Structure 1
Amino acid sequence: MTRDLRRDLYAAGAAVLLVTAAVLIGHHIQHTHHTLRVDWPPLLGSWGPHVGPGTPAAVVVAVATVGYGPALAARLPWRALLAAAWGTATAWILSLALIDDWQRGVAGRLTTRHEYLQVIDRFHDVPATLRDFTHHILLESPDNWPAHVAGHPPAATLTFVLLDRIGLRGGGWAGTWCVAVGAAACVAVLVAVRALADEGLARRAAPFLVLAPAAVWMGTSADAYFAAVAAWSVALLALAVTGRRVRSGALGSGLLFGLTCYLSYGLTLFALVGAAVLLLGRGRVRERPEVLVLLLAGAAVVPTAFTLAGFDWWEAYRLLVTRYHQGAGGIRPYGYWVWANLACTVLITGLATAAGLRRTGATLRRHRGESLARPDDPRRSGADARLALLVAAALLALLVADLSGMSKAETERIWLPFALWLLPACAFLTRPRVWLAAQAALALLLNHLLLTGW
């Protein structure tokens, strides 16, 4: 066994210990103090071993991806690889969701009392509802919004309102939207990694992005949809700063980043990932300053539209913080969740990512003080370091969200957008099939042993 592989196993073992501690200590706190507000800490879910109609399909997708994924990712033409990644990710997410059957796993997810579809009828006059949105955030306000509606800017709810208006009504269509769009997030990450690092690293990362344990919560959480929007904002910026799509990429990235901020308050932290992309492409940005101009112009569109419609983002966020502390956020102990959230991250990204992050840190240390070559340099030197920097930026954003205290529990869903950008660290690993098998086994065990809350 090589020294690097031994260290990878140590990192994976440390991740197992973190999860074990979170489970054991969490169960003790919940059973004695009842303050965690989750039934199976650190996850929102309950113990309930089961199988369902999605079980055979999930096993087939897992076995096929482990067996053939790395080889196909290495050989397929690039565009065919992207299509295969999206299709396989969709199949993986949907088959896992169907383990809980169609109603509980897909159609009923977004129709519960906390979810967006509960308020579709209240948006019959969209401009008036936007002007009045902040008046229903606090718990004591009249007709207060359900938890997820109050907890997000109105673009999140408006997405499902628009689906309803075009005839795609009900939880089945809403769930299908989240699965199909959410699966496209892995394609965006691959596009960004290829542009900023190199194609070889993107190809090695592809099977891990497809077979992510995060798929358990991507079907059918709205956060999967948010993750895709955020991911494509980064991917388009990567194309802009590497000269592939300078103007359209910068403008499109800005538009999607503006939308991201009106889908979830916490995803403003994606500015850290965007800053890493700009740093990696700083040479192109200096040569083509219109990249920044178009990026900022695009980013202003959605906020301007909502502000003119009468929605005050800052006031809504202030009220949300108050509501958060009025409810579970004011009860759940920060001292537990500030580290147990990281155990949730292990469960959604897998042991392979823990090992990959160890290699990411080693890569950054190895290249410390070196000047990174431009990502559009045909010599492509320093690709490992560029990928490591991109992954580190996503990890930093996640840690800031953790330390903020506004993410206490349920991060297996809330942090999906950040988690997807940690998975490319698996491109640094050797023996990919072994690590992929561990990823698939974790997802299958979680989905079959627990009745997850999302």
Structure 2
Amino acid sequence: MDRVLVEKRAAAAVPVDAARAGVPRLVAWAVLAGAGLTVLAVIAMVLRRLPTGSREAGWTYPYDRLAGEWHVLWPALVVTPAVLGLLWLSRRLPERADAAVAAGWFVAVIPLQLLLRTYALPSLGDIVASDRANSFYSPSQRWGIGEFMGNYMGLVEQLPPHARTNMPGKTMLYFLLDALGLGPAAMGVAVLALANLSAVLLWLIVRDLTSDRRIALYALVLGLLLPGTLYFAPVLNAVSPVPILLALWLHVRFLKTGRYGYALGLGCALYLTVFFEALPLVLGVVFAALLGVALRQRTLTWPDVLRLVALTVAGFAVCNALLRGLFGYDLFDNFAYVLADANDFNARWRPYGMWVTRNLWYLALAAGVASCVLLAAATFDAVRRRSIHPAAVLTLSGVAVLVVLDLWGINRGETVRLWIFLAVYLQIAAAWLCARTPRLWPAALLLSAAILQSTAGSAMIGFVRV
């Protein structure tokens, strides 16, 4: 079991001699193109020329500042050398320090993230307390947790707009933060820290599947500096990747070890995903791809698959029974209500045909223009070489998720926010491409582009309104 998706890794890796010779041409051109396009996008942002929605298609993000305010970019000049210095140091620490490196990044990046948001007009506390931006805080102040969950479907029509059209897990998070005695400003920082857990989980997934420290490190840092997260935190879509990536990591752990506890935990994590936000379940395509590879490589048998499914269902059922027993809450009735509301909203306000193409551009605003260029290059290379590297499986299955999600049309507009979970996941492709060389500059340029884009977008565009 421990060899799943790892035993053939060497066959798809870049040869050592080629790596020593310099940066592969595909990597160099993709990184340079991505960085160049990012600079053009940032210039367009500062000049208020970058498209940020479509009035005709039912949604747009307004600009918050006058054109030409170049001074808003100075935080990037401070954060970039700090991040690159930490990256340089992280690459040189021994393998036994990997856990400390991940924990160090998790803590050290928070003040850097806050610095990047210096010119974001709403403060973290204002966003948390605003029913327009974040409807999940006020219900936690109005009702007790027992009353809220015990009569949720009876109260749902009284909730502010976002809370009414979402699952209750987001409001429950604010009950937890309130129980810790945090005020709105401190809650905003706490939510940003929780969002950073998605990058740590991405690091765990990549490390377990590839056994490549460099890919895992780059995925971690790219996830921590994701433009979409920095635009929207502490809006809770920034936290939405955490439950599904936790589920994916538990899935990977079962594939590697066959331990039943991971499968039970997977069921619980999937329940949490639906309870918090069900949309990330579309990443099930990735779960299926990893399962298929394990079966093909004969590191997993069909009886193992049956055990995985049975234990996952059991874990999900236990969580469902627990909430029904404690509060009488029915997850499936709630999910049907939310899905019907989303379909009705789309039918009335958002045309499918326009957003099925525009959504792809707005994914680049969330994932980073440079990272999306590297995603395209990594996808092309994986298909051309028929790569069986674990990162290739993760990349291609991620692209399949993107295609399914876009063509499905459940999201029409606002995908800079709604697809943050996918934007985090897709950083794996960029990390894989940059890790093909021991040279630091491709990863450094990619991260610099992400930081610059995050700074400009946070300052110029009103992604969050209070």
TM-score class normalised by the smaller sequence:
0.7 to 0.9
Q: Using a 3 Å threshold, how does the CA distance of structure 1 residues 273 and 324 change in structure 2: closer, same or farther?
A: same
1:213·1:439 contact (CA, 8 Å) conserved in 2? Answer: yes
CA distance in 1, matches of 2:390, 2:454: 29
Residue 123 of structure 1: how far off its partner (Å): 3.2
- From 321, 326, 334, the equivalent of 1:304 is 321
1:193·1:387 contact (CA, 8 Å) conserved in 2? Answer: yes
- From 412, 422, 434, the equivalent of 2:445 is 434
2:64·2:459 contact (CA, 8 Å) conserved in 1? Answer: no
Equivalent position amino acid for 1:388 in 2: A
Q: Which residue of 2 aligns with 1:379?
A: none
Residue 118 of structure 1: how far off its partner (Å): 1.8
Report whether the alignment pairs 1:225 with 2:239. Answer: yes
Residue 423 of structure 1: how far off its partner (Å): 0.5
User: Root-mean-square deviation (CA), in Å?
Assistant: 3.5
Q: Using a 3 Å threshold, how does the CA distance of structure 1 residues 234 and 447 change in structure 2: closer, same or farther?
A: same
Alignment of 1:55-454 (within 5 A): 59-70=77-88, 72-73=90-91, 75-76=93-94, 77-100=97-120, 104-114=122-132, 115-124=135-144, 126=146, 128-130=147-149, 132-135=151-154, 137=156, 141=157, 143=158, 145-164=159-178, 166-200=179-213, 201-217=215-231, 219-243=233-257, 246-282=259-295, 283-286=298-301, 288=304, 290-308=307-325, 309-324=327-342, 327=345, 330-368=348-386, 382=388, 385-427=389-431, 428-429=433-434, 431-453=442-464
Count of aligned positions: 420
Equivalent position amino acid for 1:214 in 2: G
CA distance in 1, matches of 2:411, 2:130: 21
Q: Which residue of 1 aligns with 2:11?
A: none
SS of corresponding position for 1:452: coil
Residue 324 of structure 1: how far off its partner (Å): 3.4
1:348·1:412 contact (CA, 8 Å) conserved in 2? Answer: yes
Q: Using a 3 Å threshold, how does the CA distance of structure 1 residues 389 and 154 change in structure 2: closer, same or farther?
A: same
CA distance in 1, matches of 2:430, 2:84: 14
Residue 220 of structure 1: how far off its partner (Å): 1.2
CA distance in 2, matches of 1:161, 1:68: 35
Residues 8-17 or 357-366, more deviating: 8-17
Query: CA-to-partner distance for each residue in 1:258-292, whole Å, 9 max, x for gaps?
Result: 10111012122232232233334444442856444
CA distance in 2, matches of 1:85, 1:359: 27
Q: Using a 3 Å threshold, how does the CA distance of structure 1 residues 29 and 278 change in structure 2: closer, same or farther?
A: closer
Q: Using a 3 Å threshold, how does the CA distance of structure 1 residues 298 and 98 change in structure 2: closer, same or farther?
A: farther
CA distance in 2, matches of 1:90, 1:68: 13
Q: Which residue of 1 aligns with 2:15?
A: none
2:231·2:457 contact (CA, 8 Å) conserved in 1? Answer: no
Equivalent position amino acid for 2:220 in 1: A
- Give ranges in structure 1 of 5+ residues lacking alignment: 371-381
2:124·2:185 contact (CA, 8 Å) conserved in 1? Answer: yes
Equivalent position amino acid for 1:339 in 2: T
Query: CA-to-partner distance for each residue in 1:44-66, whole Å, 9 max, x for gaps?
Result: x6446799xx9876643322213
Query: CA-to-partner distance for each residue in 1:386-405, whole Å, 9 max, x for gaps?
Result: 11211332333333333232
Residues 350-359 or 67-76, more deviating: 67-76
CA distance in 1, matches of 2:203, 2:148: 38
- What TM-score does the superposition give when structure 2 sets the normalisation length? 0.78
Comparing both chains, which one has the higher relative contact order based on Cα–Cα distances under 8 Å and sequence gaps of 6 or more? 2
Equivalent position amino acid for 1:86 in 2: F
> Percent identity of the aligned residues?
21
1:107·1:172 contact (CA, 8 Å) conserved in 2? Answer: yes
Equivalent position amino acid for 2:418 in 1: I
Residue 194 of structure 1: how far off its partner (Å): 0.9
CA distance in 2, matches of 1:73, 1:218: 30
CA distance in 2, matches of 1:446, 1:70: 26
Residue 328 of structure 1: how far off its partner (Å): 7.0
CA distance in 2, matches of 1:436, 1:134: 44
1:85·1:186 contact (CA, 8 Å) conserved in 2? Answer: no
- Give ranges in structure 2 of 5+ residues lacking alignment: 1-22
- What TM-score does the superposition give when structure 1 sets the normalisation length? 0.80
CA distance in 2, matches of 1:14, 1:118: 41
2:202·2:219 contact (CA, 8 Å) conserved in 1? Answer: no
Equivalent position amino acid for 1:440 in 2: I
Query: CA-to-partner distance for each residue in 1:174-223, whole Å, 9 max, x for gaps?
Result: 31221111112111101100111222321343332333223323521212
SS of corresponding position for 1:108: helix
CA distance in 1, matches of 2:459, 2:367: 17
Q: Using a 3 Å threshold, how does the CA distance of structure 1 residues 28 and 59 change in structure 2: closer, same or farther?
A: closer
Q: Using a 3 Å threshold, how does the CA distance of structure 1 residues 360 and 13 change in structure 2: closer, same or farther?
A: same
2:210·2:391 contact (CA, 8 Å) conserved in 1? Answer: yes
Equivalent position amino acid for 2:337 in 1: L
Q: Which residue of 1 aligns with 2:4?
A: none
CA distance in 2, matches of 1:2, 1:271: 32
CA distance in 1, matches of 2:99, 2:272: 27
1:120·1:160 contact (CA, 8 Å) conserved in 2? Answer: yes
CA distance in 1, matches of 2:38, 2:75: 29
CA distance in 1, matches of 2:114, 2:242: 16
Q: Using a 3 Å threshold, how does the CA distance of structure 1 residues 232 and 389 change in structure 2: closer, same or farther?
A: same
Equivalent position amino acid for 2:58 in 1: L
Q: Which residue of 2 aligns with 1:376?
A: none
Runs of 4+ in 1 over 6 A off after TM superposition: 11-20, 54-57
1:92·1:215 contact (CA, 8 Å) conserved in 2? Answer: no
CA distance in 2, matches of 1:7, 1:363: 11
1:324·1:330 contact (CA, 8 Å) conserved in 2? Answer: no
